[in-house]
Amino acid sequence: MANKPVYKRIVLKLSGEALQGKNSHGIDNSVLFSICRQIKEVRELGVDVAIILGGGNIFRGQENSGMRGLNMDRSVADYMGMLATVINGLALQNALESVKLPTRVMTAIEMERIAEPYIRRRAVRHLEKGRIVIFVAGTGNPYFTTDTAAALRAMEIHAEAILKATKVDGVFSADPMKDKKAKKFARLKYIDVLKKGLKVMDATAVSLCMDNKLPIIVFNMNKEGNIKRVVLGEKIGTAVN
């Protein structure tokens, strides 16, 4: 493992489900502050950190669009999911600032009283000043996931890697929670992820990363200190490149 960070700027992709911990929904404070401690370790290494949040712990657009027989329009459901990411973003901002980390929330859907509108140059400037930037509301468009938003924002701010935080130790051939014989991949090519339909990120996000040679590191966020280990180059999780 290197003594210095192997990445100068990263995008950390957190799902809404990651924030709920063992709860059925909502936000688990112990998980929230574990994330904050790990991010603080990374910032102390001088690494620029941007974060993309999902909203599945509150509302998942695609899956909830047909809830209770309402046959909700997919676009409406997706916008509701985007608003759920804003709730998570504000919660994470509050937690990060409680441990003395300067933070800015930037939203793809303008809501000036609670967050800054996303402007690429302003986001880069915040990072240069040592602030953590939390991107919320996805891309601001329905039919695009927060995985795609992560890939898009990472390229716009010239991040060197996407760190995809999960509840397992990387990418497996099958669900390791259900299949004890599931094989963990130490490294994958983008095209293999697409061909095998592996659940790393959605196909649009993986294709964007492949076209722009942006590596994706999938790792277990529940093991505290893992974000720092990835940044220092330790071979944990699964590398997609």
- Distance between CA atoms of residues 75 and 208, nearest Å: 23
- pTM of structure: 0.93
- Which pLDDT score is estimated for 177? 77
Query: Average pLDDT in the 125-134 region?
Result: 98
Q: What is the pLDDT at residue 49? A: 98
Residue 164 token pair: 């995809």
What tokens were used for 136?
A: 């919320």
pLDDT digits (tens, 9 = 90+) for 17-73: 888 888 888 998 999 999 999 999 999 999 999 999 999 899 876 565 555 556 788
The whole-number pLDDT of residue 176 equals: 78
From 50, 48, 51, 52, select the one nearest 8 (Cα to Cα): 48
188 forms beta bridges with 240
Q: Which residue matches tokens 């599945």?
A: 56
Distance separating alpha carbons of residues 115 and 104, to the nearest angstrom: 8
Q: What's 182's DSSP letter?
A: P
Q: Which CATH class is domain 9-240?
A: alpha beta
Q: What is the four-CA torsion angle of 125, 211, 185, 21, rounded to 10 degrees?
A: 40
